[in-house]
Amino acid sequence: MSSRDELDKLLALYNIPRAGWLIRGVPAAFAEDVASHSYLVAVLALRIAHEARGCGGGIDEGKALTMALIHDLPEALTGDIPRPVKERLGDVVGRLEEEALGKLGFEYLKDLYAEMESATSVEAILVKIADDLATYLRAVSYLNNGFEGVRDIVENTRSNVMSLVPRLPGGLRECVQKYVASLLEYKAR
């Protein structure tokens, strides 16, 4: 695939609405696209990693940022597969995502992607937290704008974040918990 083809595929992320919003009644014209979500995840991951590093954690901020930037890249080819469907399909989705990374020119990041997906490092856990936080913040925004169908996403992502934080090592846990708690204060009106 040429560089131009790869770029065209990546730019498609701006035209792929996140399926969870559509399923819950957010019109396509208002639904967050995959690229916008990925940007927010990257910014949150960088911020959380910086907080954790400031608490004495040996965090590789560059690694966390790279993981955040690639966390939804395969969706340029697979589309946005809702989380419950991914969970039911299991390894099939993982193989499709790995194949898509290669087709997009990111074969060299497959191991990092696998590490992020399996949350086997502190950086990967931070990215998972950032991913759920980004979804939580967007869901609260939709809820505040009258899209009641997203209420379960608000509750589920909040719960996911709260279950991920305890997986962090002791000193980082408290530090990240404090920052995350400040973001979880953003609630529906």
- pLDDT tens readout for residues 107-128: 999 999 999 999 999 999 999 9
Evaluate if residue 188 carries a pLDDT over 70: no
**Closest Cα partner for 42 from 12, 15, 20, 62?**
62
Range name among 1-10, 71-80, 128-137 with the lowest pLDDT average: 1-10
Please check the confidence at residue 83 and state whether its pLDDT lies above 90: no
| Cα 76 versus chain centre, distance | 15
Contacts with 22 (C-beta within 8 Å, 6 or more apart), sequence order: 28, 31
Confidence band (pLDDT; 50, 70, 90) for 1?
low
Q: What angle do CA 139, 145, 149 make, to 5 degrees?
A: 55
User: Domains of the chain by range and CATH?
Assistant: 3-184 (1.10.3210.10)
Q: How confident is the model at residue 12 (pLDDT cuts 50, 70, 90)?
A: very high
